[in-house]
Structures are given as structure tokens and as C-alpha cells.
A and B are shown apart, each in its own frame.
Chain A
Amino acid sequence: MTLGYLVRRFGAVLLVLAIVTFAVFAVTMLLPGNAAIMILGEYGSDDQIAALEKQLNLNRPWWEQYASWVGGALQGDFGMSLRLSLPVTEVVLPALANSAALAAVALLAVTLIAIPLGAYAALHRGKPADLIIGLFAYIGASMPEFVTATLLLVIFAGPGREFLPAGGFVAPGESIIGFLSHVALPATALGLVLMAHISRQVRSEMSDVLASDFVRAARLKGLTERRVVWRHALPNSLAPAIAVISLDIGYLLGGIIVVEEIFAWPGLGRLLIYALENRDLPVIQAVTLLLAMVYALSNLLSDIVIAAFDPRVRYG
């Protein structure tokens, strides 16, 4: 892996982000209605809407709006939220922090559970444990988050068995127990799909490694099975697992939209749905850009990890 490769990949990421902002902008311009109509709703009269459009600068041509947005964004100024009358950064950054907290808990839990599960399944191939883990993985991969989330709510937060809060958010700084109890259900709903995916990936990588020449060689040398697994097989199947996890960050970003909406988690996903409903263009832009950025960077990360761990992969 060379510096030139990295520079080129970064360049590609920047280009992609530019395409994304333009696409989002064009897309939101095509949307029916605009922020002024959505703010005043059914109860705003035509002259009120016209006055508000003027106040929100919605009556300028689209290319002028886009140019001024790009100009501002390059200087870190993402404009004002049309609906919330706050600078976009003030709306988006706290939401980003909250989403990151949720995603981090979900990813951490998934990693800690899925890797051992996958490894265990690989070591017991074809045994009942493997089949059960495999079945669980398939079910996890087939449940959309909104189904998992709703079922979790019915089971753990229904009347008479309010084990966990049904939604809402407590900052970790405020009360760590409060945070954990609120994050438990959304993180579970997010994590199930990933757990399925990652454990399956670890299992298959590990199976390959266990069948490989150097593990056979290690066994022939008379090393204990435990040593073979922990010292040789597992480390060698981790790189692909890490690559999968970083790729899954992108998947997480999709899931987070629905899960945050259901559990009232004040993160980027909720904000995005709110902004879409209200035609709050600057917020839609900023959130989409941010999500695309995280997604692109996690893809890049996964490529780098694979390249760094696997000498067979060469990039010119």
C-alpha cells in the first residue's frame, strides 16, 4: 500500500462527496412543497407563505442557493436550519454525538458477542451449536430493524413489564445507568442484524483458516488445539472480520434511521426524518453529507485494514 494509493482513494472520497451534495440538492429542489409551506402547514395563508419564503430566502433561483450553500460549507458554515431557526451545526453536531454513542454501544456489543460466536461455530462445524448459531444468524439477517424494534418494545416495555424505558435519551454524563438503560433496546435492535452478519463472516473466515496449510502444519508440529486456535487461527481470521465490521458501519447508518425514530433517540436518523418531513434543506444536506462521509471513510478503512493485514493484496 503506497501513499499514492491513499491520496487517490481520498481524492475519490472527496469527489464522491461532491457528487452526493449536488445530488441531494438537486433532489430536494424537485421535492413538492417547500419549507415555508411545511412550516405553516394547512393553516398558513398564501401571503404568509410568500412572506416566509422571502424570509427564508427560498425565492432565489436554485443555482444561487446551491452556490451560496457550497461557499458557506467550504468555510464550515452550513447555514441555518429552516425549521428550527438554529445554525445547522448546532442541530447536527449534538445529534451526531448521540448517534455515535448508540452506534458505538451497538458495535461494541456486537463485536464482543459475534466474534466468539462465529469462532465457536467454526470450531464445531456441523454440530447442533453451529446450526443454531447459523439459524440465529439467518433470522437476524432477515428481520428488518423496525420489526425487531417493535417486538422488543412489546416484550420489554409493555404495560405491566416495563423492564426498560420504551424510548428517550439520557446523556452518559448525566447518569450512566440512565444512559445504559435507554440505549439497551435500540442498541439491541440495531445489533441483531450486524451480529448475524459478523458471526457468519467470522465463522467462514475461521473455517478457511482452519483448513489452511499453515494451521495443518501447526497441528502437525504437535501444538495443542487451544494454541492453534488462539495463536494461529483466530488472529488470521480477524482482519476480514474487522473489514466486515467497518463495512457494516455503513449498514448501521441505514438501520439507525429507523431505530432512532422508533426509540425517540435524538440522533442523526431522527433528525433526518424530521428534516425530510419539513423540507429543511440545509439540515438534509448536512446530515446526508455526514452519513455519506462516515460511510465512505469506513469503506476506505476496511480496504486499508485488508491491505495492511493481507500481504497478498497489492495496490499499485
Chain B
Amino acid sequence: MAELLRSPTGIAGTVLLSIVIAMAALGPFIAPYDPQTFHPIARLQGPSWAHLLGTDQFGRDILSRLLDGAPSTISFGLGATLLGVAAGSFIGVVAGVAGGAVDSVIMRLVDGLLAIPDLLFTLLIVTILGGGTGYAMLAVAVAFTPGMARISRSAVLSVRTRDYVLAAQARGESWGWIVGFEVLPNALSPIIVEATIRVAFAIMIGATLGFLGLGAQPPSTEWGLMVAEARQFMFRNPWMVAVPGIAIALAALGFNLFGDALRDALDPRGRR
């Protein structure tokens, strides 16, 4: 952890990430207004003392909506990544450990799926499932799975022939034990680093889906949806676009910086 705070990237990432997580944890409780309440006499206003970040087309308080939307926006990124990492790692570990025909069939399929750009893949899945936050999260997770499978497989392959694994095999431990207690813990750090950076990505894709009308739906306060709803009014009140837009960027930035710093800290050789 001390390693992490040594570089400017690490400090900035940790600080930003703490802010973002604090917002996600406390946002709805510290919001000055109910995020859904209309203030018909104060519509489309810029910042004022009453509304620190202005109001939207219904006169709803933008700051309150931003705070209220933090948990759903951030948990979308975390949830999608977690699901994708879990599924991907499982597939990757199976392929890496089993080897042979199983490995090559799985990896062919993974390559096939990797040939579709992430956003396109997600779009296709979301349109089948029918949109909405839950399905959007599932879609991002599915889109992440092949990439994570590939990374975890190579992580597994790199430790598979290490002495401690061979030793465990010689001891006659079961495969399940070896994978759980020898292979996974040692293959974990590249997976964690990749996952952290992917959270940033998942937040961005989730917001993009919300923006395209395929993710969160009104009256949700998800940040991408806030930008989408604001577009109609962006020239009348630019704050409506700028506030959630910049919030998305800062959240993604936090995870990106933190992930990179984490990589440097865990793998001194890779530091650049």
C-alpha cells in the first residue's frame, strides 16, 4: 500500500477513488433535495445558492441527482466487472489447467468473441435482452468475459510449471486443491490489475448504454442517462450536460489511475 502512494499517479488515483467511493456510499444521504422532486418555478437554472449545480428541465436539483446516481453508476461498473472477471477467470483457469483439446476449443471461441468490438458486442446483447440496468450489466459482463478468460489463462499457464505447483502435484494433491491454493493465489495479481482498469471501462460503457437509451431508464439518476436527457436542453443549461459528464470522466479516471498505480506497485519490472 505504501508502494502505491509513492507515485503521483498512485496518490491522485487513491484520492479520486476515495472521493468516488464516498459519493457512492453516502451520496443519497447527503443530497440536499429529493432527486425526483420537481421545482417548477426553478427550471433549467445555472448554479445558485439554492441549487449549487443548477436544475434540470423539471426543476430537479442536479447536485442531488448526481449524488443519488453515484451508487448506481459506480456499482454498475463494479458489478459488471466482478461478474465478467468471475466468469472469465473461471473459463480461463479451466482452459489453462485442462490444456489440450478443451483448451483449444475454448480459446477458439474466445478468439471469435474477441473479434467483436466491446461496445458492439454489448449493444447486440443489450438489444436482445431488452435494455435496462440489469441486462446492461449482464451484457458488459458477457463482453468482458472472453478478454478476462484470456488473461487469466495466461496467468495460470505462467504459474503452472512453477516448482510449488509441481511440488503439490508430486505430493498428490487434488487438482481442485492445487488450483485453489497454489495456482489462483499466484495468478491473482494480473487479474486484479486488469479488473481495476476494467471497472473504469465498465463505468464508461454503462454510461454510454444509458446515453443510448439501452441502459438505465428514466427517472433513474444514472449519470449517462442524465447526459442523454440533458442533450435536448444542453444549449439552454449546459450544466445539465457538463456535471454528469465530468463526473463520469472523474470516476473512470480514478479507477484508471489507481489500476495503473496498482500494476506498478505489484509488478516493479513493468513500471515505466
Determine if chain A interacts with chain B: yes
B2 at the interface (CB under 8 A from A): no
Within 8 A of B (CB), among A9-31: 12-13, 15-17, 19-20, 23-24, 27-28, 30-31
How many residues of chain A get a CB closer than 8 Å to chain B's CBs? 52
A146 touching B128, Cβ below 8 Å:
no
- Shortest CB-to-CB span from B271 to chain A, Å, is 10
Q: Are B211 and A142 in contact (CB under 8 A)?
A: no
Task: Give chain B residues whose Cβ lies under 8 Å from the Cβ of A19.
Answer: 109, 112-113, 115
Bound complex: CA of A13 vs CA of B118, how far in Å? Answer: 17
Q: Identify A292's interface contact among B116, B128, B234, B242, CB under 8 A.
A: B116
Query: Is B99 in the interface zone, CB < 8 Å from A?
Result: no
B171 at the interface (CB under 8 A from A): no
Contact with B along A138-160 (1 / 0, CB 8 A): 11011111110011011000110
Q: Is B30 engaged at the interface, CB distance under 8 Å to the other chain?
A: no
Residues of A within 8 A of B234 (CB): 150, 153-154, 158
The answer on a CB contact under 8 Å between B241 and A150 is yes
Whether B245 pairs with A295 at a CB distance below 8 angstroms is no
B124 in the interface (beta carbon within 8 A): yes
Interface assignment of A272: CB less than 8 Å from any CB of chain B: yes
- The reply to whether B117 and A254 form a contact with Cβ atoms under 8 Å apart is yes
Contacts A146-B211, A146-B224, A154-B242; is A131 near B115 (CB within 8 Å)? no
Assuming the contacts A24-B124, A147-B245, A151-B242, asked whether A291 and B235 have C-beta atoms less than 8 A apart, the reply is no
> Would A144 and B207 count as touching, CB distance under 8 A?
yes
A142 touches B204 (CB 8 A): yes
Q: Are B256 and A142 in contact (CB under 8 A)?
A: yes
Interface stretch (choices B59-67, B186-194, B246-254): B246-254
Given A30-B128, A138-B256, A154-B242 in contact, is the A20-B115 Cβ separation under 8 Å? Answer: yes
A311 interfacial by beta-carbon distance below 8 Å: no
Contact yes or no, B208 A258, CB < 8 A: yes
Whether B211 lies near A254 (C-beta < 8 A) is no
User: Is A288 in the interface zone, CB < 8 Å from B?
Assistant: yes
Residue of A nearest to B228 (CB): A146
- Assess whether B116 is in contact with A146, with CB atoms less than 8 Å apart: no
Smallest distance from the beta carbon of B20 to chain A beta carbons, Å?
Answer: 11
CA distance A142 to B212 in the complex (A): 18
User: CB distance B120 to A27 under 8 Å?
Assistant: no
Of A150, A153, A253, the contact of B117 (CB 8 Å cutoff): A253
Smallest CB gap from B242: residue in A: A151
Chain A, 257-297, CB within 8 A of any chain B CB: 257-258, 261, 272-273, 276, 288, 291-292, 295-296
Contacts A19-B109, A257-B120 given; indicate if A144 touches B248 (C-beta within 8 A).
yes
In the complex, the answer to whether B128 meets A31 with C-beta atoms within 8 Å is yes
**Is B95 interfacial (CB 8 A cutoff)?**
no
Assuming the contacts A16-B112, A138-B257, A147-B245, asked whether A31 and B127 have C-beta atoms less than 8 A apart, the reply is: yes
Question: Is B180 interfacial (CB 8 A cutoff)?
Answer: no
Q: Does B231 contact A (CB under 8 A)?
A: yes
Asked if A208 CB lies within 8 Å of chain B CBs, one says yes
A285 to chain B, nearest CB (A): 11
CA distance A30 to B224 in the complex (A): 27
Given A253-B120, A258-B212, verify A154-B112 contact (CB < 8 Å).
no
Contact between A251 and B235 (Cβ–Cβ < 8 Å)? no
Q: Pick the most buried of A146, A253, A292: most chain B CB atoms within 10 A of its CB.
A: A146
Residue of A nearest to B231 (CB): A150
Within the complex, the shortest CB–CB distance from A152 to chain B, in Å, comes to: 11
A-B contact pairs, 18 of them (CB 8 A): A19-B112, A28-B128, A138-B9, A143-B248, A144-B205, A145-B208, A150-B231, A151-B242, A153-B234, A154-B241, A154-B242, A158-B238, A159-B235, A253-B120, A276-B127, A292-B116, A292-B117, A295-B115
Residues of B within 8 A of A (CB): 8-9, 108-109, 111-113, 115-120, 123-125, 127-128, 130, 200, 204-205, 207-208, 211-212, 224, 227, 231, 234-235, 238, 241-242, 245-246, 248-250, 252-253, 256-257, 272
Q: Which A-B residue pairs are the 9 nearest by beta carbons?
A: A254-B119, A19-B112, A142-B252, A142-B253, A147-B245, A204-B272, A144-B204, A254-B117, A16-B115
